[in-house]
Amino acid sequence: MQTSKTHGVSVSADGTLDATQQATQQATEQMQRQVRWMTYLMFFVFAMTTDAVGVIIPQAMAQYQLSLFQASAFHYVPMVAIGLAGLFLGRLADKLGRKSLIIVGLSLYAGACYAFTAGDNALFFILLMGICGLAIGIFKTAALALIGDISPDSLSHTRTMNKVEGFFALGAIAGPALVTVMIAASIHWKQLYLVAGLLCTVLVIMAARLPYPPYQAAAEQVSLRQSLALLKDRYALGFSLAIALYVGCEVAIFVWLPTLLADYQGSFAVVATHAITLFFMLRAAGRFVAGLILQHFCWSSVMASCTLAIFACFFFSMLGGKAVALWLMPLSGLFMSMIYPTLNSKGISCFGRQQHGAVAGLILAFTALSAALAPALMALIGDLAADVSAGFYLATVFSALLAAAMLYNYLAQPAKRRLDYRRQS
């Protein structure tokens, strides 16, 4: 059988790859599957702790006699740490490589989780949550850059990102559910971190042993000044601000919805008790079907439609009060499901692979800082009004701004040229 070489690849006369090339291709595909699954599990584990905070806060307020703003530190301290790590350390994923940063971040996270068993003090727990946030910012930035390494194009990148966030959404279901079971069994919620630490230890071993895709750093390394200069890039800044608005809406629900519905006395008390779980379940379901939806519809039209639906959920919840919020706030999780991973993917895909770590770090910084600031401002408004529902009016404003931004994105298509150029290059 005659063979020829096309672009360095041996091809037989009938157009098939030779045995060596097939073996290499199969090995590459297997490596990519393993890396994907490791990334899925990483997002699952840290979501167990970050998204369980809405269930933890009412317990901490009662146990340590905290105000709404003081209790919100359980959320905004780790979020600030994640943001700072993404902003100042994200470029290290491009400089030192993905594997090294993932192992360092996972190890730090596991150690901080184990330390929760050593104390019983609100300030001590908040400090450890800050360390967890720093660790998450380190390994999450590297993981986001790694997704770019195993994605051949922007569409594949977006599909993978939605699956990754789908596993994050599953972790967001498991964490609060586990805390609820612990509380019912009179077990302290801090034991959740022991479970997360054990799972993370397994991930450290996996990360050290798995092969990674070949990565060649840019000839000129991205400096901190160059990373911060991304703030001047309208694509990086535009996607980051859009994500920040989205996150302000999302955290409003998973941080404060349990507190909002805690004193609900209507006929649907069971729904109120499990409203946050329903929100997370709908968000997870939406992320796993996102790939199919995005194959048939333009991503910008999906973003515009979903954000308008989110605004409607917030707006009518504020008009109808808790009796309406009981249903519409969890329902918004279905419409929120595709927003973050899709915008994150498109924002990163606007840049070359050697900048993926820095761009992912910048977007992560906006994500985390919004996740810290929005619920803290809601808590301040709630304390001033002596009613947690007052803070949800601010979240409604965020949802209106996000819907307006996504309508503009759909009508004007400002990033289309950059995304098309990166897809072809």
Q: What is the pLDDT of residues 357-373, one digit of tens each?
A: 778 778 888 888 898 88
Q: What share of the chain is helix, strand, coil (3-state, %, to 5)?
A: 80, 0, 15
Residue 198 CA neighbour count, 13 Å, CB half: 5
Tell me if residue 425 falls in helix, strand or coil: coil
Tell me if residue 5 falls in helix, strand or coil: strand
User: What b/e string do you get for 345-363 counting C-beta neighbours within 10 Å, with b at 16 or more?
Assistant: bbbbbbbebbbbbbbbbbb
Pairs from 274-278 (Cβ < 8 Å, separation ≥ 24): 275/326, 275/329, 275/330, 276/54, 276/55, 276/176, 276/330, 277/173, 277/176, 277/177, 277/180, 278/330, 278/333
pLDDT score for 2:
47
Amino acid identity at 79: M
Cα separation, 55 vs 182, whole angstroms:
11
Tell me if residue 267 falls in helix, strand or coil: coil
Give the pLDDT confidence of 306-358 residue by residue, as tens digits. Answer: 999 999 999 999 999 999 999 999 999 999 988 988 998 898 888 877 777 77
pLDDT at 215 > cutoff 70 = no
pLDDT score for 6:
43
pTM to 2 decimal places: 0.73
DSSP letter, residue 390: G
DSSP per-residue string spanning 6-41: ETTEEEETTSPBPHHHHHHHHHHHHHHHHHHHHHHH
Cα separation, 210 vs 38, whole angstroms:
9
DSSP letter, residue 266: S
Q: Are 354 and 218 in contact (CB under 8 A)?
A: yes
pLDDT score for 14:
52
pLDDT score for 91:
67
pLDDT score for 266:
81
pLDDT score for 226:
62
Q: What is the mean pLDDT of residues 227-246?
A: 86
Q: Are 323 and 389 in contact (CB under 8 A)?
A: no
